């Protein structure tokens, strides 16, 4: 099967998906899937492309959500300008935080992002005048074109298509990145920073670029989330979301485009399917999660590679 | 003493050693010659237990060692000095020597004697006893790697490109060291890109080509063999 | 009067700091030796507290014996955790291992909720409510116990890592596993010992800190985050670093809470860590990573 | 008995930090369901069936759960909204679509911005604090007070209310410390509060584990003044966990376990048969929700005619396990508020 | 060939705490020249490279490259100016295939970025085709054409060393710093390396070479400098240097006979 066939087929399937069922609850799940796909893809830029771990990604998601909520609340900007502003604000935070912390790599970087994330979380909780504190902001307007112009998106299907559009656009951008000189510089930086530098790659700038893009896209995700759920609380910045996103990226397959999307699907679908199990739900989920990690360390996408026989040589047998 | 028979080794699905056999007699110096990627390092790693053969057997002193873990093999007296040194950058020279002895074979020189012997052989290691290995120069690191291996009190020492990165004067010294180790009764399996040097030191040599033995001869004969001359010595 | 309050806050900070230290040491070991970010560490802390509770309740042991039993029990669990969740992944990318530990953490928390019940529990300790009074300073005996045991454990562990043969093997494995294997280090044994020690330390922390608050199956997630911060602040894999890092964090939080704002105390703690890391990326006691 | 059951969706935190509260709530509901079903069910023999959903104490999960209940599982009514943040979010999903009885949430906006099918059982924090403040002023011999408060909407409202109410009656508020919902150590805050040397410390804590820790640590800090427990959070587990630290402490509650109401006794008996936990306030709210829904559906003659059910609920006073209750226009319940005190490890109501 | 100075190092010193690894070294490289640097283990050669290439800041002294003062300039900026180096300890992108390793190295002299890739415009298409062709040529240059799709970590040691050279030349530097390129090669391969280096020079690239294989040094170098204990102790024509008794004593030993 060549790309030329599979990609249009998958796109058509994604477009047709909502018509498979009239059940609006499934539509809701599809929206969540797309939303998480967008977020996981953005985190994948950090984890998969620049090779660092960020524990602060949910904070940027939250910043986007709050920006959209506050703009909507105070200025009636509930449309495209609001989303763009959410991206800009989240990206600006990403720039400042990235600028400060990307000089440091590895676990130390992860903890720096955790620190920044927690500070943002704490401020969100305490700056009641702006954010309404722990109770969050509810009754956020639904998404419109420019906001306040009467066109408002209320159905889950509508959101599904809007977010699907974002996911497709961003996935394509990631694909283009990987087939460009800039993308090669990303990968070189991830694989061996000193060597990359000796080849003329400005390692810091590459990382910063990746980080800002990732945080801005997370901001878009946050804004869409806020409009769709109409509520945002500081909880969206909690470690729970960070962990969920990391799970999606790695279980799906980091550094790939289909991986995070599949990871998001599995996350949403599995938790839903296990709902019937009651208290056992999360135990089974955790067991499946660890089993998948242990048996498919390269993520679900590596299964595909295994089946099709595209072998990656890989040390084995030593003690 | 060391007998490798018909081993097959794979990395993942790729088979890189296809039924290789070799023998090293007690007290001998045997060298393995082959171009880049022929499988020399792979062979040594298999003997030392870092890789497991898919089939075939390896025995040392009549005992099967191919199912053992590296630390057990070391305890039997088979020690590999790895290509690329593999030191512990933040640990001191002294600690390396101590660690070399964690699975030392019993018998032979005592711990203290070995330390003195090594310091005599490489005085710089005594001088830099407290320095961290990561800050040693390339050549100093190579000496430390050999010293660490010797601390295990080996009977059969496998050296993988020991001259790597050594200045000519140090290579001389290495040559002398290997000679004296052998004279002291140590069996040596040597992999060395300086084929001339290796064949000078060895009594027998195996020529390895893409994972199997192409030639097995007396070292002197190989040194004179025109095929070896053109393929490996560049003359 | 102000003086007394300050001294009391400082004492509170030091004791809280020591609880962080206890949690962080096991983490720093696994982190330092095996380069594993073990998200499940907090869950072993949780298990330590719960095992103490059940050992006291079901076996009728006194607090000290229960704590010892719990510590040993969880240390043994460390063997299985390593065998099933970490050892098989030793050659995989660090993020993969991290996810495996995250899975283990979820498994233990949710399994704990199922088995132990979701209701909070209290680990009874005879030292919990009795206090030491020094002048106007008041500290419970339990807190004094935490401090003293913490200091002793740290001291012992540091000696072990620096000078024992196993400690050296652990450090060697940390820096070059392949080189260690070729020097005769039994890597598998190093993995096992590291996890046994780390889990035991986490459990000991749980058993000691348990009686100062209520326990419930999700306490671990709090513990692991604090632990990480301390580990990074002090320097990866450094035991003295964990000590200084933990105490610093405890005192900073307590003074920030006492004199600036309680709600922001944690955030201020984070801010200080950020500043320290920017100044010394390798942490207070860490060695710089060579590239 | 083969009529289709009436299905009530219950959305509660069944995992995560709020899991214990969720468990108590659901147990309370199950005990009441059992009672109703044993008496022949409702609507001429239809049994009640609970469909449980976990919201993890998280608004987004709450939304998903509510959507699933309505759109996928097609339940007849929803009981939920234990945590304010979840309640505030969830009500937007249920808005004008389904009967939604909210339970323990105390946030005024739950009903202020509610909808035509939304009812809330718990008193708002304003109502609670008015009663409680009066008691504190009249009956307690204190002149100064300090607060230790959870930093969430509930806690913030509480301090706001009490600062005003107590000030009006001449009790001076010396200070307040906010703590966070994941804190486990309060010595720093308590050291500060102790230094204020107030006659009383008011502890605002919803979470049982945190509450018990605070009470214990107050005792351990050597504080000698009066401890006052926040309204609506006294429960047997808290008493058990806090040990002697809670002895003699007052609180107000909708639930007085020693009340002589027959209905309450029956429910507590049923609860004791079915579960090992002690019946709690939060459980009694769950039970009351089931009781009210059953009654209103019977009266409306339908499980689906929400206008009629809502009308029935608003229509008159109801006799329930917690005594008489009636709802105002926006669905807010008016209930009895009891003053309770811990005596010999038992929660007893204080009869004036 | 015109006598244009491409690199001028003067008084370069680098100290690590108490240890001065490089002491006031002066050195110049002419355009098109191959200059060898030899010296005993631990003499400070690698440190010298690190300071010139911007991987370490110097303690004192100056580095001028193509007439610009580049003292203490960051490694990536040096690289963009046209100086590329290899590392003594093999340094590759281990998880990437050999060809991807080399592709990454073309970064310096390519222009189109992410935006062009999104638009898939003409410039991008042409450049990608160039990148592939250049990468393949570099691999073939070092005889790794057949191994193009093998991951770098799966190559044998000697192959990895050659891949490093391919990476370095794909960056199209003006000055190439090679740190022991022949390590891990047998004499025959060393001879092939000699011709390879000569061919690189013939493309107009100047080379600074650290090497212990005297046959390689003698085979390619126009001039040789000797460093011992951080100090330059000799400099000149290869034959003159190897006959310097001082050099024989500290460095060559018995090899002097063979050289
Ligand atoms: N980790 C690995 N994964 C997959 N293949 C490998 C791995 N290591 C080595 N190989 C392959 O195995 C073959 C033999 O490699 P080996 O390292 O044994 O060669 P060698 O004879 O030691 O060469 P050199 O002289 O260059 O060191 C080579 O083709 C190499 O590409
Ligand atoms: N980061 C460092 N910290 C302290 N000392 C160092 C550091 N790097 C190198 N050294 C010391 O500086 C001296 C020069 O080292 P360098 O690596 O430059 O030697 P070299 O000439 O390249 O040797 P070789 O031929 O063995 O590679 C050595 O004594 C080494 O121990
Ligand atoms: Mg080799
Ligand atoms: Mg060097």
Residue-wise pLDDT tens digits, D160-203: 888 888 888 888 889 888 888 778 889 888 888 888 888 999 99
* Residue E151 CB–ligand 1 contact under 6 Å: no
Q: So what's the pLDDT on residue A150?
A: 62
**Same domain (yes/no): E189, E77:** yes
* Contact call for residues C48 and C71 (beta carbons, < 8 A): yes
ipTM above 0.95, yes or no: no
Widest CA span in chain E: 65
For residues C50-67, one letter each, b for 16 or more C-beta atoms within 10 angstroms of the residue's C-beta and e for the rest, the string is bbbbbbbeeeebebeebb
CA distance D75 to D72: 9
Burial class (CB in 10 A: 0-12, 13-18, 19+), D276: exposed
Are the beta carbons of A231 and D63 separated by less than 8 Å? yes
CA distance D30 to D49: 9
Widest CA span in chain D: 67
Instruction: Give the other-Cβ count within 10 Å of B99's Cβ.
Output: 25
CA distance E21 to D338: 82
The CA–CA distances, whole Å, from C290 to A53, A194, B90 equal 20, 11, 10
Of B62, B66, B59, B40, residue with least CA distance to B159: B40
**Same domain (yes/no): E177, E142:** no
Are the beta carbons of A198 and E76 separated by less than 8 Å? yes
Residue-wise pLDDT tens digits, D231-269: 777 888 888 888 888 888 888 888 887 777 888 889 999
Residue E157 alpha carbon to ligand 3 centre in Å: 5
Burial class (CB in 10 A: 0-12, 13-18, 19+), D243: middle
**Same domain (yes/no): E114, E157:** yes
How long is chain A? 319
Of D231, D207, D211, D25, residue with least CA distance to D127: D231
Sheet holding E83-85, edge to edge: E83-85, E175-179, E206-210, E34-38, E223-228, E231-236
Which ligand approaches the C-alpha of residue E156 most closely?
1
The SS3 call for residue B117 is helix
Q: So what's the pLDDT on residue E257?
A: 58
**Same domain (yes/no): E198, E138:** no
**Which of the pair, C87 or A17, is modelled with greater confidence?**
C87
CA E251 to chain centre: 21
* Contact call for residues A219 and A89 (beta carbons, < 8 A): yes
* C113 reaches A (C-beta below 8 A): yes
Q: Is the pLDDT of residue C115 over 50?
A: yes
Contacting residues for A92 by C-beta, under 8 A, at least 6 apart: none
Q: Which helix (H) or strand (E) holds D54?
A: strand D48-54
* Residue B140 CB–ligand 1 contact under 6 Å: no
Residues of chain E below pLDDT 50: 1
Q: Are strands E206-210 and E34-38 parallel, antiparallel or unpaired?
A: parallel
For residues E111-136, one letter each, b for 16 or more C-beta atoms within 10 angstroms of the residue's C-beta and e for the rest, the string is ebbbebbbeeeeebeebbeebeebbb
The answer for B 74-103 residues in CB contact with C (under 8 A) is 74-75, 79-82, 85-91, 95-96, 98-100, 102-103
The CATH H-level (homologous superfamily) assignment of domain B27-51+66-233 is P-loop containing nucleotide triphosphate hydrolases (3.40.50.300)
Print pLDDT tens along chain B (235 aa): 899 999 999 988 889 999 999 999 999 999 999 888 889 999 999 999 999 999 999 999 999 999 999 999 999 999 999 988 899 988 999 999 999 999 888 887 889 999 999 998 888 899 999 999 988 877 788 889 999 999 999 999 999 999 888 888 888 888 888 998 899 889 999 999 888 889 999 999 999 998 899 889 998 998 888 888 888 887 7
Q: So what's the pLDDT on residue D33?
A: 93
Sheet holding D118-120, edge to edge: D48-54, D6-12, D77-80, D100-102, D118-120
Contacting residues for C114 by C-beta, under 8 A, at least 6 apart: A279, A280, A283
Selection from B78-82, C137-141, C239-243, E2-6 with the highest mean pLDDT: B78-82
* Residue E186 CB–ligand 1 contact under 6 Å: no
Cα–Cα–Cα angle for D215, C70, C123, rounded to 5 degrees: 15
**Which of the pair, D214 or D19, is modelled with greater confidence?**
D214
Q: Taking CB atoms and an 8 Å cutoff, what residues of chain B touch A316?
A: 10-12
Q: So what's the pLDDT on residue D135?
A: 85
Token pair, residue E224, equals 């040789």
Which residue's alpha carbon is nearest to atom 8 within ligand 2? B135
Q: Where are the beta strands (DSSP E) in B50-152?
A: 55-60, 63-64, 78-81
Question: CATH number for the domain including E25?
Answer: 3.40.50.300
CA distance E173 to E108: 9
Total domain count for chain E?
2
Print pLDDT tens along chain A (319 aa): 566 788 888 888 888 888 888 788 888 889 999 999 999 999 999 999 999 999 999 999 999 999 999 988 777 777 888 899 999 999 999 999 999 889 888 888 888 898 899 889 988 888 878 888 777 887 788 877 765 556 677 788 888 999 999 999 999 999 988 888 898 999 999 999 999 999 989 999 999 999 999 999 999 999 999 988 888 888 888 888 888 899 899 889 888 899 999 999 999 998 888 877 777 888 888 888 888 888 888 888 888 777 765 544 333 333 2
* A314 reaches B (C-beta below 8 A): yes
Domain carrying residue E244? 5-82+173-257
CA distance A248 to A253: 8
Residue with tokens 């502890």: D203
Question: What is the residue-averaged pLDDT of chain C?
Answer: 88
Residue with tokens 């309740």: C57
**Of E115, E138, E167, which residue constitutes the final position of a domain?**
E167
Q: So what's the pLDDT on residue A309?
A: 57
Domain coordinates in residue numbering, chain B = 27-51+66-233
Q: Are strands D6-12 and D48-54 parallel, antiparallel or unpaired?
A: parallel
The SS3 call for residue D63 is helix
**Same domain (yes/no): E77, E11:** yes
Q: Where are the beta strands (DSSP E) in C127-277?
A: 131-134, 137-140
Of D20, D71, D30, D31, residue with least CA distance to D51: D30
HEC secondary structure over chain A: CCHHHHHHHHHHHHHHHHHHCCCHHHHHHHHHHHHHHHHHHHHHHHHHHCCCCCCCHHHHHHHHHHHHHHHHHHHCCCCHHHHHHHHHHHHHHHHHHHHHHCCCCCHHHHHHHHHHHHHHHHHHHHCHHHHCHHHCECCCCCCECCCCCCCECCCHHHHHHHHHHHHHHHHHHHHHHHCCHHHHHHHHHHHCHHHHHHCCCCHHHHHHHHHHHHHHHHHHHHHHHHHHHCCECHHHHCHHHHHHHHHHHHHHCCCCCHHHHHHHHHHHHHHHHHHHHHHHHHHHHHHHHHHHHHHCCCCHHHHHHHHHCCCCCCCCCCC
**Same domain (yes/no): E13, E138:** no
E113 secondary structure, DSSP code: -
**Same domain (yes/no): E125, E237:** no
Q: Taking CB atoms and an 8 Å cutoff, what residues of chain C touch A103?
A: 278, 281
Residue-wise pLDDT tens digits, E175-209: 999 999 988 888 888 888 899 999 999 988 999 99
DSSP string for residues in D227-280: EEEPTT---HHHHHHHGGGGTT-EEEES--TT---HHHHHHHHHHHHH-SSPP-
* Contact call for residues C2 and C43 (beta carbons, < 8 A): no
**Of E141, E167, E193, which residue constitutes the final position of a domain?**
E167
Contacting residues for D323 by C-beta, under 8 A, at least 6 apart: D259, D261, D335, D336
Are the beta carbons of B169 and E186 separated by less than 8 Å? no
How long is chain B? 235
Q: So what's the pLDDT on residue A316?
A: 30
* Contact call for residues A252 and A261 (beta carbons, < 8 A): yes
Residue with tokens 């401020």: A123
Give me the phi and psi of C68, to 5 degrees please: -65, -45
Instruction: Give the other-Cβ count within 10 Å of D189's Cβ.
Output: 27
Q: Is residue E87 part of a domain?
A: no
Q: Chain C closest CA to A115's CA: distance in Å? A: 5
* C141 reaches D (C-beta below 8 A): no
**Of E120, E137, E167, which residue constitutes the final position of a domain?**
E167
**Same domain (yes/no): E143, E34:** no
Share of chain D above pLDDT 70, in %: 99
Of B90, B86, B96, residue with least CA distance to B118: B96
Tally the C-alpha atoms within 13 A of residue A312's C-alpha that lie toward its C-beta: 17
The CA–CA distances, whole Å, from B150 to B109, B115, B182 equal 11, 9, 12
Q: So what's the pLDDT on residue A315?
A: 33
CA distance A264 to A51: 20
* Contact call for residues B229 and B235 (beta carbons, < 8 A): yes
Lowest mean pLDDT among B7-16, C12-21, D126-135: D126-135
Are the beta carbons of C270 and A126 separated by less than 8 Å? no
Q: Chain D closest CA to C104's CA: distance in Å? A: 16
Q: Is residue E253 part of a domain?
A: yes
Q: How confident is the model at residue C124 (pLDDT cuts 50, 70, 90)?
A: confident
Q: Taking CB atoms and an 8 Å cutoff, what residues of chain A touch B43?
A: none
Tell me the sheet residues that pair with E18. none
């Amino acid at each position: 099967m060549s790309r030329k066939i599979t990609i249009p087929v998958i796109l058509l399937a994604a477009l047709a998906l909502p018509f498979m069922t009239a059940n609006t609850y499934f539509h809701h799940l599809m929206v969540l899937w797309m939303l998480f796909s967008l977020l996981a893809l953005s985190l994948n830029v950090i984890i998969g492309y620049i090779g660092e771990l960020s524990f602060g990604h949910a904070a940027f998601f939250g910043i986007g959500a709050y920006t959209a909520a506050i703009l909507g609340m105070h200025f009636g900007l509930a449309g495209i300008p609001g989303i763009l502003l959410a991206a800009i604000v989240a990206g600006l935070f990403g720039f400042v935080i990235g600028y400060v912390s990307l000089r440091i790599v590895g676990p130390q970087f992860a903890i720096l992002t955790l620190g920044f994330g927690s500070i943002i979380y704490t401020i969100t909780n305490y700056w009641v005048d702006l954010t309404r504190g722990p109770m969050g902001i509810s009754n956020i307007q639904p998404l419109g074109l420019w906001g306040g112009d009467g066109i408002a998106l209320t159905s889950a299907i509508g959101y599904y298509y809007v977010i699907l559009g974002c996911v497709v656009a961003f996935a394509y951008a990631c694909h283009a990145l990987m087939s460009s000189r800039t993308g090669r510089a990303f990968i070189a930086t991830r694989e061996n920073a000193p060597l990359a530098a000796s080849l003329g790659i400005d390692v810091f700038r590459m990382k910063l670029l990746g980080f800002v893009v990732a945080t801005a896209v997370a901001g878009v995700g946050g804004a869409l989330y806020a409009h769709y759920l109409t509520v945002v609380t500081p909880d969206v910045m909690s470690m729970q979301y960070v962990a969920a996103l990391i799970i999606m990226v790695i279980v799906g397959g980091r550094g790939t485009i289909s991986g995070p999307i599949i990871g998001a699907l599995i996350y949403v679908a599995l938790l839903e399917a296990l709902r019937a199990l009651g208290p056992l739900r999360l135990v089974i989920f955790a067991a499946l999660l660890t089993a998948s990690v242990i048996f498919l360390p390269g993520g679900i996408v590596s299964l595909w590679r295994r089946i099709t026989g595209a072998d990656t040589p890989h040390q084995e047998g030593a003690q | 003493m060391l007998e490798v028979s018909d081993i097959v080794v794979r990395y993942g699905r790729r088979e890189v050693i296809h039924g290789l056999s070799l023998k090293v007699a007690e007290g001998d110096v045997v060298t393995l010659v082959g171009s880049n990627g022929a499988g020399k390092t792979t062979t040594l790693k298999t003997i030392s237990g870092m890789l497991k053969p898919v089939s075939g057997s390896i025995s040392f002193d009549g005992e099967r060692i191919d199912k053992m873990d590296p630390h057990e093999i070391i305890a039997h007296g088979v020690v590999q000095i790895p290509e690329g040194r593999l030191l512990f950058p933040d640990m001191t020279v002294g600690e390396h020597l101590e660690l070399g002895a964690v699975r030392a074979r019993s018998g032979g020189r005592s711990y203290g004697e070995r330390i003195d012997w090594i310091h005599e052989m490489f005085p710089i290691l005594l001088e830099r006893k407290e320095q961290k290995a990561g800050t040693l120069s390339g050549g100093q690191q190579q000496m430390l790697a050999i010293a660490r291996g010797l601390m295990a009190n080996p009977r059969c020492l496998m050296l993988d490109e020991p001259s790597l990165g050594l200045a000519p004067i140090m290579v001389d010294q290495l040559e002398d060291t290997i000679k004296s180790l052998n004279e002291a009764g140590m069996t040596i399996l040597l992999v060395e890109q300086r084929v001339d040097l290796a064949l000078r030191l060895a009594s027998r040599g195996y020529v390895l080509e893409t994972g199997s033995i192409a030639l097995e001869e007396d070292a002197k004969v190989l040194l004179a063999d025109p095929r070896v001359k053109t393929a490996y010595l560049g003359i | 009067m102000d003086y007394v309050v300050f001294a009391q806050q400082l004492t509170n900070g030091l004791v809280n700091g020591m609880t962080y230290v206890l949690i962080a040491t096991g983490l720093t070991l696994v982190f330092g030796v095996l380069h594993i970010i073990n998200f499940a560490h907090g869950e072993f802390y949780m298990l330590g507290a719960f095992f103490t509770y059940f050992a006291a309740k079901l076996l009728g042991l006194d607090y000290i014996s229960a704590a010892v039993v719990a510590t040993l029990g969880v240390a043994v669990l460390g063997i299985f955790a390593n065998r099933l969740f970490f050892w098989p992944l030793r050659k995989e990318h660090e993020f993969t291992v991290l996810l495996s530990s995250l899975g283990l953490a979820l498994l233990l928390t949710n399994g704990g909720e199922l088995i132990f019940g979701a209701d909070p529990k209290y680990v009874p300790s005879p030292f919990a409510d009795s206090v030491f009074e020094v002048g106007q300073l008041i500290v419970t005996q339990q807190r004094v116990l935490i401090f003293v045991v913490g200091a002793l454990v740290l001291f012992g562990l540091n000696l072990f890592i620096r000078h024992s043969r196993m400690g050296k093997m652990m450090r060697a494995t940390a820096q070059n596993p392949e080189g260690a294997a070729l020097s005769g280090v039994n890597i598998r044994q190093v993995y096992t010992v590291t996890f046994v020690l780390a889990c035991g330390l986490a459990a000991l922390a749980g058993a000691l800190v348990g009686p100062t608050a209520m326990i419930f199956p999700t306490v671990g997630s709090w513990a692991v985050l604090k632990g990480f911060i301390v580990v990074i602040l002090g320097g990866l894999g450094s035991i003295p670093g964990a000590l200084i890092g933990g105490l610093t964090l405890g005192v900073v939080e307590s003074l920030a809470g006492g004199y600036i704002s309680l709600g922001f105390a944690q955030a201020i703690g984070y801010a200080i860590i950020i500043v320290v890391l920017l100044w010394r990326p390798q942490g207070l006691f860490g060695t710089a990573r060579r590239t | 008995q083969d009529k289709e059951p009436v299905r009530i969706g219950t959305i509660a935190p069944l995992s995560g930090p709020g899991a214990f509260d969720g468990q108590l709530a659901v147990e309370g509901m199950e005990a009441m369901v059992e009672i109703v079903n044993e008496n022949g069910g409702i609507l001429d023999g239809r049994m009640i069936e609970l469909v449980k959903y976990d919201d993890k104490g998280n608004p987004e999960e709450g939304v998903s759960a509510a959507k699933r209940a309505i759109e996928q599982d097609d339940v007849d009514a929803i009981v939920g909204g234990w945590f304010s943040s979840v309640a505030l979010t969830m009500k937007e999903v249920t808005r004008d679509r389904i009967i939604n009885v909210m339970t323990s949430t105390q946030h005024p906006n739950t009903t202020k911005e509610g909808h035509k099918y939304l009812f809330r059982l718990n008193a708002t924090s304003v109502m609670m604090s008015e009663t409680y403040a009066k008691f504190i002023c009249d009956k307690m011999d204190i002149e100064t007070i300090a607060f230790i408060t959870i930093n969430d909407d509930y806690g913030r409202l509480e301090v706001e209310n009490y600062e005003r109410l107590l000030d009006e009656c001449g009790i001076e508020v010396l200070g307040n410390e906010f703590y966070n919902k994941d804190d486990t150590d309060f010595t720093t805050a308590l050291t500060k509060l102790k230094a204020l040397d107030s006659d009383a410390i008011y502890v605002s804590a919803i979470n049982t584990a945190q509450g018990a820790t605070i009470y214990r640590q107050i005792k351990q800090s050597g504080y000698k003044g009066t401890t006052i427990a926040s309204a609506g959070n006294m429960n047997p587990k808290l008493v058990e966990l806090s040990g002697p630290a809670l002895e003699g402490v007052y609180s107000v509650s909708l639930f007085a376990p020693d009340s002589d109401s027959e209905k309450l006794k029956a429910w507590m008996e049923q609860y004791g048969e079915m579960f090992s936990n002690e019946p709690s306030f939060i459980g009694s709210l769950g039970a009351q929700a089931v009781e009210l829904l059953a009654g209103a559906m019977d009266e409306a003659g339908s499980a689906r005619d929400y206008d009629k059910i809502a009308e029935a609920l608003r229509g008159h006073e109801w006799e329930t396990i917690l005594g008489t209750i009636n709802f105002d226009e926006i669905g807010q319940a008016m209930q009895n508020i009891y003053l309770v005190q811990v005596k010999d490890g038992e929660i007893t109501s204080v009869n004036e | 060939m015109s006598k244009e100075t491409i690199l001028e190092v003067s008084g370069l010193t680098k100290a690590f705490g108490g240890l001065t690894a490089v002491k006031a070294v002066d050195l110049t490289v002419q355009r098109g020249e191959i200059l060898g640097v030899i010296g005993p283990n631990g003499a400070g050669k690698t440190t010298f490279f690190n300071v010139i290439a911007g991987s370490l800041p110097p303690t004192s002294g100056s580095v001028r490259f193509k007439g610009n003062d580049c003292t203490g300039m960051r490694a990536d900026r040096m690289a963009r100016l046209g100086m590329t180096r290899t590392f003594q300890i093999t340094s590759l992108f281990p998880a990437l295939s050999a060809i991807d390793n080399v592709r990454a190295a073309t970064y310096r002299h390519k222009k189109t970025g992410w935006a062009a890739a999104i638009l898939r415009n003409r410039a991008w298409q042409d450049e990608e085709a160039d990148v592939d062709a250049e990468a393949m040529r570099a691999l073939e240059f070092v005889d790794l054409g057949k191994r193009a799709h093998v991951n770098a970590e799966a190559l044998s040691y000697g192959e990895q060393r050659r891949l490093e050279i391919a990476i370095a030349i794909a960056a199209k530097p003006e000055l190439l710093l090679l740190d022991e390129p022949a390590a891990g090669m047998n004499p025959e391969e060393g001879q092939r390396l000699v011709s390879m280096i000569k061919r690189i020079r013939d493309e107009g690239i100047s080379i600074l070479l650290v090497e212990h294989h005297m046959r390689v040094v003698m085979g390619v170098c126009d001039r040789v400098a000797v460093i011992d204990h951080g100090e330059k102790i000799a400099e000149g024509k290869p034959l003159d240097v190897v006959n310097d008794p001082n050099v024989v004593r500290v460095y060559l030993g018995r090899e002097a006979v063979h050289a």
